[in-house]
Structure 1
Amino acid sequence: MSSCAVCGDRVYGNRYKAPACLGCIVFFRRSVCREAKYKCLKGKNCVITSETRCICRYCRLQKCLLVGMSPEAIHRRDIMGPRKKKVPSVNSPSDTSSFAVDTPSTSTSIHSNYDSPAPANTWMLDQLVKLQSRQRSQHYSSACMMEDTIGCGSDIFDKIYNYIANPPFRRARKKDVNFMLRIALMNASEWALQFVPFKNLNMNMQKSILLEYGFAFLLVDQGWLTSELNENFKDLWVIQNNTYMSPDYLKGLPEVDCYDKEVPTKVKLHPIFVRDALDSVGKPMRELQIDEYETAVLKTLLLLSHSPSTDKYIFGAEHDNDVNHLQERITSELMQYCKRKNPRDAAVRMGSILLLISGVRCAIRSLYNQLRVSDVFNFMEFHSLIRDVYLT
């Protein structure tokens, strides 16, 4: 069997007597070990797919049992809990003194869904992948509240559930772009605050870093979503709520809007950003088949790396040692991961992933220019948070 018996995703193994992806294997083990008691809000008959598996944990666990996953197959070492941690030395690669754990408790966070082998001793990135999963799960739930079709009434929860389970794939509108720019900036800030060097900066310095990093974070998230599309949609750029942009500005545009006086200008300017984003980020991520673990690496290294406009660290000289240590830690964990995922070409894959950073930086300028043009020509009315960080 080539697909997960629970959600249909790519199979990782038969560890618990049924073919399952890594996400479902981890979910099943944690649920059994913790003797978790879940509740279903939809009549205990939710459809479990790779896109909806995080929505109802009750039905997901029942599906695990139904397809033959066995609690008895969990070894004793799986339920003993974490071994006593060694006290890290100052120079130990496992030292996490520069990493602040602000992620939610396990009982409320979404379990990691990346379906590739996880390396040993990757505590830092494991926490970041969990944070990433939680942020992505919130994109649809937040976006659905701005949909005109949701409305109010007694069936509002059914509408929200259907939206999250089957998000519409349509052309992005102004409010989609505005909303997702704000969500991405908030997510980037939350991500950066996991790291002590960023936390210790004053607000003006944090804002200065987010001016560039907010764009980088957004491009990685959107690039990964774009890379997940099948070949029929390879020329579309996808934003976080599953709506798309096309190099052809008129694609999907309602006929009534085609006669807007701004359309000729938009037709000329819009494709520049979309093409740059596809060529610099989306297509390379598709070719490499970047997974969720590797996107977390990219987001972190983009934060910690040198600013392209200066030879100094963006965090300042006083944080050089901390930032150096974090960079070494992340690249070390990435190498371990690449060795487990592709032992023969681990170094090549790691190098290819690191090269994506330059592609993201190229696309940042196009995105910034697109925002500036939209602001100058009054194509969009941006949220005050976006204006405060990006346009002042």
Structure 2
Amino acid sequence: MYGWADSTAIEVLCHTEQCVVCGDLADGFHYGVRSCRGCNAFFRRAVTFGMQFSCRRGGRCPVDKNARCACRACRLAKCFAVGMDKKAVQPKREGTNGNGIQSQDNSFDQNDSELENRRTSPYFDSVQLTSPESTYSINHSIYAQLTDYTPLRSPSPPPECPFLLRLCYEFSEVKRRRKCMLCKSLEEILTEDCSIRDPATAEDFTVVFQTQMILMFEWVEKLPEFKMIHDPLDKTKLLRAFALRYMLLDNVYHTYELGYNDRLVFVNNNYIIPGQPSSNFNSCEVVNEMEICALMFGAPMQTLVSELVSIIHGRNITIGEIMTVRRLMLWNPGSIGLSSNAQAIASQASNNAMKELQQYLEQEGIEQSEQRLEFLLLYIPALTKHTKTMYEIVRLIPSFGKMSEWNSFMDDVLRGV
């Protein structure tokens, strides 16, 4: 009935989610991020051998599964940008063969190199090998700019920091990674321009939501109560109910941070203004395209903007309050058939979230805490209501002939909404 209910959420994710570096199919976590075997091997070799690369195009090369090998400098810089940890690369192991002679473990040199060499276009960049002991560098200012603008890790919270405050600390790092994952080139990553881009199309739902799905899983896996749930079926039900709520809240809060109150701005900075369709929909004759256009730019979106975006404009909503709304939406999914054990954990987790928010508001010296709590509790049902609008939109996306289909994992999640 549930397709992947007999597997854990993380196992399914590893088999269906995208590499955050190039967008190819990821096969698991490597050096701190979800990545494919190719990018994993590339990063490991580059760090292990202290490789130096230079870009001939000023750091503007696209890094995706169709062109990831075109420029190694830009590819490696993006590896760092999305959070790959150089320190997690293990030094080459040494062993002995049957004659007692030391030999290096070169399994990744042979196997992974073959994987990469089939796709590499070496004439796009120059490579220099240095000794393994040398400091890793890229022969271009890209890496220096990248580390200046996008630090590899956000400042760590104090060890005794409350859990809610820890989530707030991590949110800035998540936003940085989100930007890196959505950008198509290093030039986009390095720019500090936060201006909106273009009117959104249906394709933005696919691109943005698949990125947000990765970040949602990473966030949920950090919650101690989620780790206490051992039944994969319970986790599956929770995630199904939570997925679009998380995504909607993320885009609404991004709109709030940019200061807009008349539109919904996606986290890739494309936007929807009710009543102003994208030019891609101006001459639609196909029924499904007309329906999705009506949902995206008509009365349903106007109501969504009014009840979710405009209402919080100028209210000085804090990150702590948004993190609490996230937690409350996860732990209050409605009647979805959770086991008694999962229900008890969810109830306690919800209570903990409210208590921690009260403490957070007091510690931050924020006045009128009771009124703020009341507003948030009324805001959550509105989010849940408009999640249905989002679902009505995304359920039509696979019918677009000009768009790639949603993978089976995403489709399975949406069927549970």
Equivalent residue for 2:253? 224
Matched, 1:236 2:284: no
Letter in 2 for 1:239: F
Q: What is the CA–CA distance in structure 2 between the aligned matches of 1:361 and 1:273, rounded to whole Å?
A: 14
Equivalent residue for 2:237? 208
Q: Deviations over 1:112-157 (max 9, x none)?
A: 89xxxx9x97521122223332222122211112xxxx4xxxxxx4
Q: What is the CA–CA distance in structure 2 between the aligned matches of 1:321 and 1:54, rounded to whole Å?
A: 46
C-alpha spacing 1:324/1:266, structure 2 compared with 1 (3 Å)? closer
Matched, 1:109 2:153: yes
Q: What is the CA–CA distance in structure 1 between the aligned matches of 2:148 and 2:166, rounded to whole Å?
A: 17
Matched, 1:135 2:160: no
- 2:263·2:271 contact (CA, 8 Å) conserved in 1? yes
Q: What is the CA–CA distance in structure 2 between the aligned matches of 1:130 and 1:336, rounded to whole Å?
A: 16
- Report the structure, 1 or 2, having the larger strand content: 2
Aligned partner of 1:161 among 190, 214, 226: 190
Q: What is the CA–CA distance in structure 1 between the aligned matches of 2:247 and 2:285, rounded to whole Å?
A: 30
Letter in 2 for 1:386: M
Aligned partner of 2:285 among 254, 261, 279: 261
TM-score by structure 1 length? 0.60
C-alpha spacing 1:264/1:175, structure 2 compared with 1 (3 Å)? closer
- 1:227·1:285 contact (CA, 8 Å) conserved in 2? yes
C-alpha spacing 1:169/1:53, structure 2 compared with 1 (3 Å)? farther
Equivalent residue for 2:98? none
Equivalent residue for 2:341? 318
Aligned partner of 1:124 among 163, 182, 199: 163
Q: What is the CA–CA distance in structure 2 between the aligned matches of 1:206 and 1:141, rounded to whole Å?
A: 28
C-alpha spacing 1:56/1:379, structure 2 compared with 1 (3 Å)? closer
Equivalent residue for 1:28? none
Q: Deviations over 1:305-326 (max 9, x none)?
A: 2x3336x7x4x21134433332
Q: How many equivalent residue pairs?
A: 274
Letter in 2 for 1:187: L
C-alpha spacing 1:343/1:359, structure 2 compared with 1 (3 Å)? same
Aligned partner of 1:182 among 210, 224, 248: 210
- Tell me the SS of whatever aligns to 1:318: helix
Q: What is the CA–CA distance in structure 1 between the aligned matches of 2:372 and 2:304, rounded to whole Å?
A: 21
| Aligned-pair CA distance for 1:189 | 1.8
How do 1:63-74 and structure 2 match up within 5 A? none
C-alpha spacing 1:173/1:53, structure 2 compared with 1 (3 Å)? farther
C-alpha spacing 1:289/1:159, structure 2 compared with 1 (3 Å)? closer
Q: Deviations over 1:262-300 (max 9, x none)?
A: 454444332244224313322233253312221111111
Q: What is the CA–CA distance in structure 2 between the aligned matches of 1:176 and 1:279, rounded to whole Å?
A: 21
Q: What is the CA–CA distance in structure 2 between the aligned matches of 1:321 and 1:159, rounded to whole Å?
A: 45
- 1:181·1:386 contact (CA, 8 Å) conserved in 2? no
In structure 1, the gaps of 5 or more residues are 1-38, 47-51, 58-107, 151-156
Q: Which has the larger radius of gyration?
A: 2
Q: What is the CA–CA distance in structure 1 between the aligned matches of 2:322 and 2:156, rounded to whole Å?
A: 13
Equivalent residue for 1:296? 323
Q: What is the CA–CA distance in structure 1 between the aligned matches of 2:362 and 2:225, rounded to whole Å?
A: 29
C-alpha spacing 1:55/1:308, structure 2 compared with 1 (3 Å)? same
Matched, 1:358 2:381: yes
| Aligned-pair CA distance for 1:368 | 1.2
Equivalent residue for 2:410? 386
C-alpha spacing 1:264/1:195, structure 2 compared with 1 (3 Å)? closer
| Aligned-pair CA distance for 1:165 | 4.5
Q: What is the CA–CA distance in structure 1 between the aligned matches of 2:292 and 2:348, rounded to whole Å?
A: 45
Q: What is the CA–CA distance in structure 1 between the aligned matches of 2:246 and 2:292, rounded to whole Å?
A: 25
- Tell me the SS of whatever aligns to 1:110: coil
- Tell me the SS of whatever aligns to 2:279: coil
Letter in 2 for 1:109: R
- Tell me the SS of whatever aligns to 2:214: helix
Q: What is the CA–CA distance in structure 2 between the aligned matches of 1:302 and 1:176, rounded to whole Å?
A: 24
- 2:243·2:413 contact (CA, 8 Å) conserved in 1? no
In structure 2, the gaps of 5 or more residues are 1-136
Equivalent residue for 2:149? 55
Q: What is the CA–CA distance in structure 1 between the aligned matches of 2:205 and 2:365, rounded to whole Å?
A: 37
When the two chains are superposed, the root-mean-square deviation of aligned CA atoms in Å is: 3.5
- Tell me the SS of whatever aligns to 1:288: coil
- Tell me the SS of whatever aligns to 1:228: helix
- 2:182·2:211 contact (CA, 8 Å) conserved in 1? no
